[in-house]
Structure 1
Amino acid sequence: MCILFIARDQRKDFPLIIAANRDEFHARPTKASHIWSSHPPIFAGKDLKAGGTWMGVTRSGRIAALTNIRQPDKERQDARTRGELVVNYLTHKGSNPQFHDVLRRRREKYNGFNLLHGTWRDLKVYNNESDSLLSLEPGIHGLSNGALNDPWPKVSRGVSALSQYCSESDTLSEDALFSLLKDKTEAPESALPDTGISKDWEKRLSPIFIQSDEYGTRASTLLLVNRNGNASWSERTYDIQGQVTDQVTAHFQFL
């Protein structure tokens, strides 16, 4: 998962809105969102190469999502797969402080990541590079391949669009939120972040929705939770041309 936009307590009808894109190489095999046979059962997509996932939930109300931190000079081939972190949280049987203690003790086993995790009432973001744990305060947040709310052009663009939508729309439209996630606007070269990759790749990765022959946005996911804890999950899967090839919807009653 490469970008998430989160609205927390910005609407009375839906106190939590998560709109997320998963960016990945097109050749990497993937299974769309489904119920896993784990305990407790997870609802998530699955990376069929390494066995993890980028975003998922449980019926008890746990939520987790992952973004990688882009720092090619620090990438290690022997690192553990980051996708297992989402699974680890969703199946964790102990307390959150216990989970955070394990995260911190094992943080160097993984390449850079942000892990959004918690419940719809209480979400936190852990960054293993800075060893920081931040509570997600009420507001509109963006999380991409840097720190929480880093002002990368696509982060700022999505945060602004979601903020405007939450404040101006009387009802919540999934199509409107999917349109926000399908924004292919490239950032001007002068505004590109310097993450250690070529300027050509920085520009190619600068839109909210990435489209190229080898790498791009593979799926968009919406998680909407209303004030009664009723959650809806909607996921659209895309091909190389950015066309929808599959759609999954599910509904849960969170505790």
Structure 2
Amino acid sequence: MCIVLLTTSHPKYALIVLDNRDEYILRPTSKPHWWTAKPESNHDSGADASQTSREIEVLSSRDLQRAEHGTWLGITKGGNFAVLTNYRETNTHDATHPVHGKRSRGGMVTAWLAADPEQPTNEFVRNMLESGDVKGVGGFSLVCGKLRKLKGEKKIQPLAILSNLCDNPDQVPWICGQRGYEYGLSNAVYQDLVDNVKEGSTEPIWPKIHQGASLLSQALAVTVGDDIAEEELVQILFKILDVDKFPSKHTMDLEEGIPLLKDSIFIPAFGGEEHQRDMLAARQRGSIKQTERGSAAEALTIEARPDDQPNGFQTGLYGTQRQTVILVDWDGNVTYTERALWDSFGNPIERGTGDETFKFKIEDWEVESN
């Protein structure tokens, strides 16, 4: 189960984001790359035709399994940012909150990344709720918003947490609008996590969230006073994403392991006999193509599905597939580093050799305060 950690506590950075994508290891996923999206005209935004016709430059990896080619995390050059986690619906008789959605959850992320650049976050949230687009996609929470610095202030515009359980905008939490906070989200409703903390529970319902936020706070306390290089800070943050408290038994069935995912930030690849066999078969196919593809990291592609075999959706082992660290400084400079841990055939990639780093400056970074 994925984890997202965000902080507004570092004095040099307006926002820091850490993310682990937990998924079936064989699920086809592209490398992170720039791609373009065509925004839909939004009459309420007041944008003219020339503005809405401009293609949007998006940075993300993309899911190659489903036709939507959605993603779990991405950012645009204009500063639209989104990251998604899912959760398992348990009521099989609730048609409005299906266990398995007909549409991809990743489409919720790309809906915001490809939105009209002039559209405010709160308007996007309202439109998604009123149109019913948040329904029928399975359980999800979407952190979304515009990364913008408020002129004359040391703060950014807040980010919304949109969920398929929200029925109106008043139910949508907003985060990251104030300095000095750490936030965490995993495969649960965000408000449930908040309520658990407010109640002062000594047994948090999601230990990985509490540990991740605590480790992030400790890491910042250590690094803030030191003038460390950005590359070193990124590696320190990746170590948080590597904290493994999962049981050493990695051959347990998925249903047995799912309740244990709440305890560990990093999830080592695990699965029962059938999933172990799928993984072995994929690796054998990969070994045949070894001479063609070079290293494991080089086997990852951008646009095309990396393997023509049918595996990739709920097959093979399950665990942390990708890790991402994003730094946004006070000048709007973004450092986006994504770490691939597995190639498309289920072979492990040595940490660091599958890293992709992108640096760019957000357009129109500063805006007037409301």
**Do both proteins adopt the same fold according to a TM-score greater than 0.5, normalized to the shorter chain?**
yes
Aligned to 1:106: 133
Normalised to the residue count of structure 1, the TM-score between the two structures is: 0.88
3-state SS of 1:31 partner: coil
Work out which of the two has the higher radius of gyration on C-alpha atoms and give 1 or 2: 2
Q: Which runs of 5+ in 2 are unaligned?
A: 38-54, 93-97, 148-155, 194-203, 248-253, 271-316, 366-370
More strand by share: 1
Aligned to 1:70: 88
Count, aligned residues:
245
The answer as to whether partners of 1:82 and 1:111 remain within 8 angstroms in 2 is yes
Deviation at 1:211, TM superposition (A): 1.2
Instruction: List structure 1 runs of 4+ shifted beyond 6 angstroms.
Output: none
Classify 1:136/1:204 alpha carbon distance in 2 versus 1 (closer, same or farther; 3 Å): closer
Q: Which runs of 5+ in 1 are unaligned?
A: 188-196
Q: Deviations over 1:30-56 (max 9, x none)?
A: 101101132301100000012100000
3-state SS of 1:81 partner: coil
The answer as to whether partners of 2:121 and 2:160 remain within 8 angstroms in 1 is no
1:202 aligns with 2:241: no
3-state SS of 1:109 partner: coil
User: What does residue range 1-255 of structure 1 map to in structure 2 within 5 Å?
Assistant: 2-8=2-8, 10-38=9-37, 39-50=55-66, 51-74=69-92, 75-93=98-116, 94-104=119-129, 105-120=132-147, 121-122=156-157, 123-131=159-167, 132-137=171-176, 138=178, 139-148=181-190, 150=193, 151=204, 152-169=206-223, 170=226, 171=228, 173-186=233-246, 198-204=255-261, 206-213=263-270, 214-239=317-342, 241=348, 243-244=350-351, 246-254=354-362, 255=365
More helix by share: 2
Task: Tell me how far apart the structure 2 counterparts of residues 204 and 97 of structure 1 sit (CA, whole Å).
Answer: 32
State percent identity of aligned pairs: 30
Task: Tell me how far apart the structure 2 counterparts of residues 215 and 72 of structure 1 sit (CA, whole Å).
Answer: 20
Classify 1:226/1:203 alpha carbon distance in 2 versus 1 (closer, same or farther; 3 Å): same
Deviation at 1:246, TM superposition (A): 1.4
Aligned-CA RMSD value: 2.1
